[in-house]
Chains A and B, each alone.
Chain A
C-alpha cells in the first residue's frame, strides 16, 4: 500500500468515527429537548450539543476534503473530549462504568487522535 493510500485510508477511518461521534451527540442533544421544558439549563445545553454535532459533521466532511484546519480543529476537539472524560473518571461519580462508556468516551476519541496523528499532518493536503 502506498503512503498516500494509507494516509487516505486513515483519514477516511477517522472521518467515519467522527461522523459516528457527531451522530451520537446529535441524539444526546435532541433527547435533552423534552427536559428543557421544565429545566431551563437543558434548553441551552441541548441547542449547544446539536450545534457541536453539526460542527463535527462539518469538520468530518472537510477532513475528507483535505482541509488542514479541519485536521487541527478535530485534534483540539478530541483532546478536549478525552481530557474532560479522564477528569470526570477520576471523580467518584461513576462516569465510566462498563464497556460502552469506555468505547465511546475513551477509545473512540483516542482512536481518532491516533488516526489523525499517523495520517501525518504534512501528508494531509492543504486545500484551503
Chain B
C-alpha cells in the first residue's frame, strides 16, 4: 500500500540518516533542515512550503545553541509540519509514501523530546493530564490521518487496500489482446480436468486453510512453484465455496519471489499484482491491514506475497478475466456473500 515514490528516492538515504541522530535533539533539528533536498520533487506552493519549513528548522537549530526560548517555537513548528502533511495527504495533493511517513515518524520523535524537555513543575491535574496524553494523541491522529489519506486517494497502482499492481502501458496493442485471449483459452482448457476438487487433490493440489472472511478457497501445488505462467502448471486453483459445494472459478499464477513481476503477454490486460501491507496471523489463517507505520497486532506478522495473476474462467463481469479479485456481482451470485 505504501511504496516509495520515484521522486522521493533521492531523499531516502538522508531520511534514514536522520533517525540515527534523532536521539540527540540538537543534531536532529539540524538534520531536519536537510528536508529541503525533497523540494525538487514538489512544485508550486508545496515546494515553497518545503523551503520555508527547512529555513524554519535551520533557524530553530541555531536558536538551540544561542537562546533559551526555542522550545515552544520548535514544538509549534514540528506540529505545524505534521499537520500540514496530514492536510496535504487527506486532500489528495500528496500520496503517503514511505519517505513522507518516515519523516513524520522522525518529527514525532523530535516533538516528543521537545515536549518532555520542559521540566514538569508541580502543576494542576488538567495540565498533567494534557502532558501525559498529548503526545500519544498526536501519534494516533497522525496515523489515522495518513491512513485516511492513503485509502481515500490511492495512486493508480493500487487495485484496493493491500494490493499493488504491476506498472504497465495504459492501452493494449492488438497483439497483446490476442495473447491475452490465448492465455485465457489455454487456462480454461487446462483447468477443465479440475472441475472436481478430488481430481485437483489427485494431481498434487492441496486445499489452503478455510477462512470465514474469504468465500474463495485456493488449492496450491508446491510442485509447480518454479513454473512461470504455464497454463498446464498453474500454482493454484481457485474454488468458490457455494451453498452446493466447491465450484472451480479460476487459476492463480504466482512468481517465485517477492517483487519479481511476471511476464505480461497481454500488457495492461494481464497485469500482475502483489499483496502487501497485510498482517497475517497463523492462528486460523487470518488477515488484517498494517498501519501506515508498518505495525501489526501482537501475534501476527507483516507479509508481502510474490506477484500473482488470476485468470477467471467464469464470467467475471466488468472486472474481466484477469482482474485481481473476483467481481463482486459474480462473487455474490456464486456464494451469496459480497
- Determine if chain A interacts with chain B: yes
Q: Which residues from chain A sit less than 8 Å from chain B, CB to CB?
A: 12-13, 15-17, 19-20, 22-29, 31-32, 35, 38-42, 44-46, 48-49, 52, 57, 61, 88, 92-95, 97-105, 107, 111, 115
Check if B70 is an interface residue, CB within 8 A of chain A: no
Asked, given contacts A15-B116, A22-B136, A104-B105, whether A35 binds B291 with beta carbons under 8 Å apart, the answer is no
Q: Is the CB of A32 within 8 A of B294?
A: no
Give every chain B residue within 8 A of A13 (Cβ-Cβ): 23, 113, 116
Q: Which residue of A lies closest to B13 (CB)?
A: A99
- 8 smallest beta-carbon distances between A and B, as pairs: A94-B304, A23-B139, A16-B112, A41-B284, A39-B286, A35-B288, A101-B294, A49-B297
Q: Is the CB of B297 within 8 A of A32?
A: yes
Instruction: Name the one of B2, B4, B291, B301 contacting A24, with C-beta atoms under 8 angstroms.
Output: B291
Cα distance, A49 to B295, chains bound together (Å): 11
Q: Is the CB of A39 within 8 A of B257?
A: no
Stretch at the interface among B95-103, B242-250, B308-316: B95-103
Check if B51 is an interface residue, CB within 8 A of chain A: no
Give every chain A residue within 8 A of B105 (Cβ-Cβ): 100, 103-104
Identify which of B15, B112, B276 gathers the most chain A CB atoms within 10 Å of its CB.
B112
Cα distance, A44 to B132, chains bound together (Å): 28
Q: Is the CB of B294 within 8 A of A41?
A: no
Q: Is the CB of A19 within 8 A of B135?
A: yes
Shortest C-beta distance, B158 to chain A (Å), equals 16
Cα distance, A35 to B211, chains bound together (Å): 12
Asked, given contacts A16-B109, A35-B287, whether A92 binds B258 with beta carbons under 8 Å apart, the answer is yes
Give every chain B residue within 8 A of A25 (Cβ-Cβ): 295, 298
Give every chain A residue within 8 A of B143 (Cβ-Cβ): 23-24, 27
Cα distance, A77 to B124, chains bound together (Å): 33
Instruction: Name the one of B136, B147, B276, B293 contacting A104, with C-beta atoms under 8 angstroms.
Output: B293
Instruction: Name the one of A42, A49, A103 contacting B286, with C-beta atoms under 8 angstroms.
Output: A42
Cα distance, A57 to B140, chains bound together (Å): 14
Q: Is the CB of B15 within 8 A of A19?
A: no
Asked, given contacts A13-B113, A102-B16, whether A24 binds B293 with beta carbons under 8 Å apart, the answer is yes
Cα distance, A27 to B138, chains bound together (Å): 12
How many chain B residues touch the partner (CB < 8 A)?
A: 62
Give every chain B residue within 8 A of A97 (Cβ-Cβ): 258, 276, 304
Q: Is the CB of B297 within 8 A of A48?
A: yes
Main secondary structure of the interface of A (DSSP, over half): helix
Q: Which residues from chain B sit less than 8 Å from chain A, CB to CB?
A: 2-4, 12, 15-16, 19-20, 22-23, 98-99, 101-102, 105-106, 108-109, 112-113, 116-117, 132, 135-136, 139-140, 143-144, 147, 211-213, 257-259, 276, 279-281, 283-284, 286-305
Give every chain B residue within 8 A of A29 (Cβ-Cβ): 297-298
Instruction: Name the one of A39, A95, A115 contacting B303, with C-beta atoms under 8 angstroms.
Output: A95
Give every chain A residue within 8 A of B259 (Cβ-Cβ): 94
Q: Is the CB of A23 within 8 A of B136?
A: yes
Cα distance, A44 to B286, chains bound together (Å): 12
Cα distance, A12 to B114, chains bound together (Å): 11
- List 11 additional A-B contacts (Cβ < 8 Å) besides A20-B112, A27-B140: A17-B112, A39-B212, A39-B286, A45-B299, A88-B302, A92-B257, A98-B4, A99-B4, A99-B102, A100-B2, A105-B295
16 contacts between A and B (CB under 8 A): A13-B116, A19-B112, A20-B108, A20-B135, A24-B143, A26-B136, A27-B140, A31-B289, A40-B212, A45-B300, A52-B298, A57-B136, A93-B280, A101-B302, A103-B16, A105-B294
Cα distance, A88 to B282, chains bound together (Å): 13
Instruction: Name the one of A46, A94, A95 contacting B297, with C-beta atoms under 8 angstroms.
Output: A46
Q: Is the CB of B291 within 8 A of A31?
A: yes
Q: Which residue of A lies closest to B2 (CB)?
A: A100
Shortest C-beta distance, A109 to chain B (Å), equals 12
Q: Is the CB of A107 within 8 A of B19?
A: yes
Give every chain B residue within 8 A of A107 (Cβ-Cβ): 19-20
Q: Is the CB of B297 within 8 A of A45?
A: yes
